[in-house]
């Protein structure tokens, strides 16, 4: 028997868990189909169940080397162990969803009568997955066998009534409970999709062309991530891209029309070339590279990312302003959005209006989505280079006319580039609005340090600090300036390291009682660049998921460890 904590043991546990949940959801869908109640809504409910089952099948194929439906033990073992644990945890969460559904039946049981024991094995589409429900490798019991105990073992040759089911099972298959289960199943599938870019990096898919071609056929969202990975590699190597991925610019005259239009978000990108600081021929070549290489490269990134719903807006077009050597990118509003201009996270935190004050759950949600988005962007081979509160946008819902906090979008990609690319820096004066988000090594004079993912993560840490304290980084910086002014009559000069240390101090002293210890730990990891040691290995994405993404999820606040000697153990009510 494999050690449950070994790669083999965890891989077997993943396969067993997949078989359990897959058999269960297929079984439940078939039982809905066999019932005669809520006929008007049943076809829609069944279609949605089938779609979610198809998503489960598709997304799980990333865990198999071939075309098999479901994870493959040997292929899983090629992942670092911590990645297999991520997958195991994900399937355990779906098992928990199904277990809760079964507990609903138990609640109905107490009210309506005992659930009879099964008279025979699985029937009617519930596959026999002998061995998958054992506890080898830490896998839980077969939930579908528990469900089967409450169902009459007569084959379901035709439609049946709820009255044909035992009293304790009628409540289980009520319309309300089916809709609740479907909602949670949808949410779980979405969470599994957030793991796709992490797993692509863990499997080193970027180096496996054959597997890339197989996975692209699975469609969105896997194809979207693979396309961004391909664009990153093409840009880094200076190779061409397929014509289908190209985004030709529009004319400046067409751009002026868009600047006057509605439902378009516009971002400006300046060339970054200063002709006065270099010979004319070099300046001309640098500007040509901006127009012909780097700007089209960024346009391709934004077009693909927006098309695949990666928490970025859909790029409509871009154009160069020849008179000022700057480029404009034009993005479409989301379909749900009203014509009202969006609000940024910076706007919300700065506002005193009660309608735009995010409650605790909403703040955790936005932090979680933002961390996941940045993690996916990095896994796909890109760095953002401009993460700040103003880059997170919220649109107003056209039906309610209220700001929708459930759909944050990441914007302001004007400096984004492939992770393996190079950056040209020039000395700039302190810009408080932007520099408070920058890593100390990115302040002031140019340094030989190339921009890496950990610099993005530092900026993310500043934004997470803002969300947790519900205070802008600029305001926190103002506190530091006031403190230094009170200590000395000399003109105040604040360095990047002083800003970083003050942010860390605020996180250490103010975050824990507002957002919990896990959230505080995640922010400190970001601000301390605590993932540097994993930067150049395929474990980086898994560590970011474990040490940041999972800790800014509200579940981390609600989960109390019961390990012996844990500091919160005294606060658990028996």
Contact call for residues 272 and 295 (beta carbons, < 8 A): no
How many CB atoms are located within 10 Å of the residue 121 CB?
Answer: 11
- 382-383 vs 417-418, strand pairing mode: antiparallel
Residue 461 has pLDDT above 90, yes or no: yes
Q: For 569, list phi and psi in degrees, rounded to 5.
A: -60, -35
Q: Where are the domains of the chain?
A: 7-194, 247-332, 341-561
Mean pLDDT of 201-219: 83
Which token pair is 135? 């506890």
Mean pLDDT of 419-435: 60
In the CATH scheme, what is the code of domain 341-561? Answer: 1.10.510.10
Sign of CA dihedral 426, 428, 433, 437: positive
Between residues 457 and 297, which one has the greater pLDDT? 457
Q: What is the pLDDT of residue 206?
A: 76
Q: What is the pLDDT of residue 36?
A: 60
Contact call for residues 371 and 519 (beta carbons, < 8 A): no
- 343-344 vs 392-394, strand pairing mode: antiparallel
Residue 338 has pLDDT above 50, yes or no: yes
Between residues 43 and 239, which one has the greater pLDDT? 43
**Burial class, 275, CB count within 10 angstroms (exposed 0-12 / middle 13-18 / buried 19+):** middle
Mean pLDDT of 522-528: 96
Between residues 503 and 113, which one has the greater pLDDT? 503
Between residues 299 and 102, which one has the greater pLDDT? 299
> How would you write 447-474 as a 3-class SS string?
CCCCCCHHHHHHHHHHHHHHHHHCCCHH
Q: For 539, list phi and psi in degrees, rounded to 5.
A: -95, 0
Contact call for residues 544 and 86 (beta carbons, < 8 A): no
The rounded distance, in Å, linking the Cα atoms of 139 and 131 is: 10
The rounded distance, in Å, linking the Cα atoms of 241 and 225 is: 16
Sign of CA dihedral 23, 25, 26, 30: positive
| Cα distances (angstroms) measured from residue 83 to each of 142, 300, 353, 371 | 24, 30, 43, 18
Average pLDDT over the chain reads 79
Go through the chain and tell me how many residues it has: 574
Residue 318 has pLDDT above 60, yes or no: yes
Residue 538 DSSP class? T
Contact call for residues 311 and 369 (beta carbons, < 8 A): yes
Mean pLDDT is lowest, of 20-24, 191-195, 341-345, 421-425, for 421-425
Residue 128 has pLDDT above 80, yes or no: no
**420 band by pLDDT with thresholds 50, 70 and 90:** low
Which token pair is 170? 């009628």
Which token pair is 32? 């809905």
Please spell the DSSP secondary structure of 338-374, one letter per residue: -SSPPEEHHHHHH---GGG---HHHHHHHHHHHHHHH
């Amino acid at each position: 028997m494999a050690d449950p904590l070994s790669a083999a043991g965890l891989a077997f546990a993943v396969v067993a868990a997949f078989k359990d949940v897959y058999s269960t959801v297929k079984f439940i869908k078939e039982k809905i189909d066999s019932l005669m109640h809520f006929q008007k809504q049943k076809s829609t409910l069944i279609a949605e169940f089938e779609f979610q089952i198809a998503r489960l099948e598709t997304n799980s194929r990333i865990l198999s080397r071939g075309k098999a439906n479901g994870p493959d033990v040997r292929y899983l073992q090629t992942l670092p162990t911590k990645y297999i644990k991520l997958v195991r945890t994900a399937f355990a969460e779906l098992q928990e969803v199904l277990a809760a559904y079964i507990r609903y039946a138990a609640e109905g049981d107490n009210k309506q009568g005992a659930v009879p024991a099964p008279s025979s094995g699985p029937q009617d589409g519930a596959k026999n997955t002998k061995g998958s429900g054992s506890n080898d490798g830490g896998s839980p019991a077969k939930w579908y066998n528990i469900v089967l105990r409450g169902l009459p073992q007569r084959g379901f040759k035709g439609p049946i009534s709820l009255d044909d089911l035992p009293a304790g099972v009628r409540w289980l298959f009520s319309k309300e409970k089916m809709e609740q289960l479907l909602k949670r199943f949808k949410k779980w599938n979405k969470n599994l999709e957030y793991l796709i870019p992490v797993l692509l990096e863990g499997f080193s898919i970027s180096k496996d062309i054959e597997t890339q071609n197989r996975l692209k056929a699975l469609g969105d969202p896997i194809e979207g991530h693979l396309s961004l990975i391909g664009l990153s590699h093409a840009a880094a190597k200076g190779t061409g891209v397929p014509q289908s991925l190209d985004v030709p610019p529009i004319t400046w005259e067409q751009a002026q029309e868009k600047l006057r239009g509605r439902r378009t978000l516009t971002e400006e990108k300046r060339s970054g070339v200063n002709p006065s600081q270099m010979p004319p021929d070099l300046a001309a070549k640098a500007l040509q590279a901006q127009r012909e290489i780097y700007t089209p490269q960024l346009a391709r990134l934004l077009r693909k990312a927006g098309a695949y719903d990666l928490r970025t807006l859909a790029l409509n077009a871009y154009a160069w302003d020849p008179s000022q050597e700057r480029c404009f990118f034009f993005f479409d509003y989301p379909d749900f959005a009203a014509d009202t201009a969006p609000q940024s996270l910076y706007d919300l935190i700065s506002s005193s209006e009660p309608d735009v004050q995010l409650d605790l759950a909403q703040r955790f949600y936005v932090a979680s989505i933002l961390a996941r988005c940045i993690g996916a962007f990095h896994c796909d081979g890109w760095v953002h280079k401009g993460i700040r509160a103003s880059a997170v946008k919220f649109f107003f819902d056209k039906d309610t006319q209220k700001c929708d906090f459930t759909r944050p979008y990441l914007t302001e990609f004007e400096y984004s580039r492939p992770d393996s690319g190079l950056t040209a820096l020039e000395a700039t004066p302190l810009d408080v609005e932007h520099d408070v988000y920058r890593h100390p090594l990115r302040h002031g004079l140019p340094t030989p340090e190339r921009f890496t993912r950990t610099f993005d993560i530092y900026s993310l840490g500043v934004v997470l600090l803002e969300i947790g304290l519900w205070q802008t980084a600029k305001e926190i910086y103002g506190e530091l300036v006031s403190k230094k002014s009170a200590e000395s009559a000399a003109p105040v000069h604040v360095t990047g390291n002083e800003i970083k240390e003050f942010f860390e101090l605020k996180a250490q002293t103010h975050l824990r009682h507002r957002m919990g210890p896990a959230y505080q730990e995640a922010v400190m990891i970001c601000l301390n660049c605590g993932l540097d040691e994993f930067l150049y290995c395929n474990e980086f994405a898994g560590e970011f998921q474990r040490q940041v993404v999972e800790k800014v999820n509200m579940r981390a606040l609600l989960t109390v460890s019961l390990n012996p000697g844990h500091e919160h153990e005294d606060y658990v009510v028996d």
